[in-house]
Structure 1
Amino acid sequence: MARLGFARRLAEADRCLVGTWLKIPALEPVEILADAGFDYLVIDQEHAPLTLEFAYQATVVAQGAGMSVLVRVPDRSGSHLQRLLDSGVDGILVPRVTTVEEASAAARQMLFSPGGDRGLGTTSRAGRWGGLSRQEYLRFGDEEVMRAVQLEDRGVLEQVEQVLDVPGLNGVFLGMGDLGLSTGRPGSDPEIQKLVDRLLSAARARSIPAGTAVQTAAQARQAADRGYSYVMVSNDTSLLRSAATSAVAEFRA
């Protein structure tokens, strides 16, 4: 059965898609998150000890359960992109992108030639083990997989229009946590909010879906109302901790 890549799924959605981060190196949380009704999950290789092999396994399980799968790669070097894309993931988040040149390099590594430098791998899982035609494999990779950069530095947000004009980018993610660190200002600061508005306006003008991460469902609804197309709410470890802490506190009360 044909499935939708995340870029196409976002384009066809009539609402903000809700996902969460996967940090625990086990497959049971993947099934639990799917049963809970999340639209997608983000395998977090930047801030969790998740290997390529585990990411592959989690992708198979998550997609089989009806979720889309994004991977936040460990860094912006590009060394992980080819194998993850050929594993059949639905999108990539490249973290710590701070310049237009870095955004361009990331996009090129996720696009097939002549627009980019991604190699041909039709016998991989992304090519259905050779079951897809070469044309369909190339079309899906270039048109349906989301190629997003994570912006979390004031300097790059001040040139966000040039970043989003990079050929091949079809997604952007705003990292509010590190933006706060880089500016020394809370997210509620008016100057920070101006940068957020600028990103959302630039993304909307170019029909590029913008995403972010929040801690609560209420914050996710606010993000959706503000114009984000996809939002991550909490993560598997925090959800487990919250439930466990509440259960113990309720018992002891």
Structure 2
Amino acid sequence: MTDATPTFRQRLRERQPLVGTFFKTPSHQLVEVLAGAGLDFIVIDAEHAPFDRAALDPCLLAARAAGLPALVRVAGVDGPEIQGALDLGATGIVAPHARNAATVRRIGAAVRYRGGVRGFSNSPRAGGYGATGMAEHIACSDRDSVAVCQIEDREAVEAIEAIAGMDEADCLFIGRADLAVSYGVDDVGDPAVKEAVRTVCAAARSRGKAVGIHIGHMREAQAYLDMGVSLFVVGSDQSLLRAAAAGLRFPASA
């Protein structure tokens, strides 16, 4: 990558509009297909889909080979999960349930070497299997690795002013479904969820922080763009496949 080419982290922090999808099927071929479709990124879902480290490995290899930024949504904020994804060559991580400033600080520390707690090794893919020197690997990883923090709890919304001001998070990702559960409702369109979304967007906008959200269709994007959202995760590989397959019907006869 040349100095003139912005990294995914730079594009994210500059709040450029970015469109990707959740990736839930352990198949490196599907990663290549999505890369050819021109997406800005994918989020490999190791929280809700069957991705252990062995399943992540070929998918991250395919993404790296195709030049497709790949974030990994980890199942928790423990250091080993985050470190494992980054060592395999993930562009960054999406961490669930960033409920408060302390959790965001913990996530940020797990992503970084300097000032953090990430265990060092340049022997995995991220370090060129040992070809990248220690100083270069630390500098490049700390500069380019992305930390996205999911705001999906009422507690996080109540602490959003503090969370939005933290540099450890490159982006705040709104999880409307979990917010609905946290607020005791069963509809992401509930007024309580809508108000929580507005609160998060307003706090992020005031701090110049990138905001992301999951939507079902691109037709929903404009309303969130107007609120300051710049990162869009649209459906998933499975929903895209299902929608395309559902359209394979003969037209109804007149």
Per the normalisation by structure 2, the TM-score is: 0.88
For residue 155 of structure 2, what is the aligned residue in structure 1? 155
What does residue range 130-145 of structure 1 map to in structure 2 within 5 Å?
A: 130-145=130-145
* Deviation of the 1:216 alpha carbon: 0.3
Work out whether residues 18 and 233 of structure 1, in 8 Å CA contact, stay in contact via their aligned partners in 2: yes
Cα–Cα, structure 1 residues 143 and 35, in superposed 2: closer, same or farther, change >3 Å?
same
Work out whether residues 21 and 41 of structure 2, in 8 Å CA contact, stay in contact via their aligned partners in 1: yes
Work out whether residues 5 and 140 of structure 1, in 8 Å CA contact, stay in contact via their aligned partners in 2: no
For residue 57 of structure 2, what is the aligned residue in structure 1? 56
For residue 175 of structure 1, what is the aligned residue in structure 2? 175
| Partner AA of 1:48 in structure 2 | A
Question: Higher mean Cα deviation, 33-42 or 139-148?
Answer: 139-148
Cα–Cα, structure 1 residues 16 and 167, in superposed 2: closer, same or farther, change >3 Å?
closer
1:91-143 deviations in Å (ceiling 9; x for gaps): 10111232332222222111214x21011222332222333343332222222
1:150-186 deviations in Å (ceiling 9; x for gaps): 1111121111122233452222211011111211344
Q: Any unmatched runs of 5+ in structure 1?
A: none
| Partner AA of 2:131 in structure 1 | G
Q: Any unmatched runs of 5+ in structure 2?
A: none
Cα–Cα, structure 1 residues 138 and 5, in superposed 2: closer, same or farther, change >3 Å?
farther
- Distance, in Å, in 2 between the alignment partners of 1:4 and 1:127 is 20
| Partner AA of 2:97 in structure 1 | R
Work out whether residues 223 and 231 of structure 1, in 8 Å CA contact, stay in contact via their aligned partners in 2: no
For residue 88 of structure 2, what is the aligned residue in structure 1? 87
CA-based RMSD of the aligned residues comes to 2.2
> Secondary structure of the equivalent of 2:234?
strand
For residue 126 of structure 1, what is the aligned residue in structure 2? 126
- Distance, in Å, in 2 between the alignment partners of 1:36 and 1:194 is 34
Per the normalisation by structure 1, the TM-score is: 0.89
- Distance, in Å, in 1 between the alignment partners of 2:145 and 2:28 is 23
* Deviation of the 1:11 alpha carbon: 3.6
For residue 221 of structure 2, what is the aligned residue in structure 1? 220
What does residue range 205-244 of structure 1 map to in structure 2 within 5 Å?
A: 205-244=206-245
* Deviation of the 1:21 alpha carbon: 0.8
For residue 11 of structure 2, what is the aligned residue in structure 1? 9
For residue 19 of structure 1, what is the aligned residue in structure 2? 20
Work out whether residues 19 and 40 of structure 1, in 8 Å CA contact, stay in contact via their aligned partners in 2: yes
| Partner AA of 1:79 in structure 2 | P
1:44-98 deviations in Å (ceiling 9; x for gaps): 0111101212212111211222211100012233331112111121110111232
> Secondary structure of the equivalent of 1:25?
coil
Cα–Cα, structure 1 residues 204 and 71, in superposed 2: closer, same or farther, change >3 Å?
same
Work out whether residues 6 and 91 of structure 1, in 8 Å CA contact, stay in contact via their aligned partners in 2: no
* Deviation of the 1:251 alpha carbon: 6.2
**Sequence identity percentage:** 33
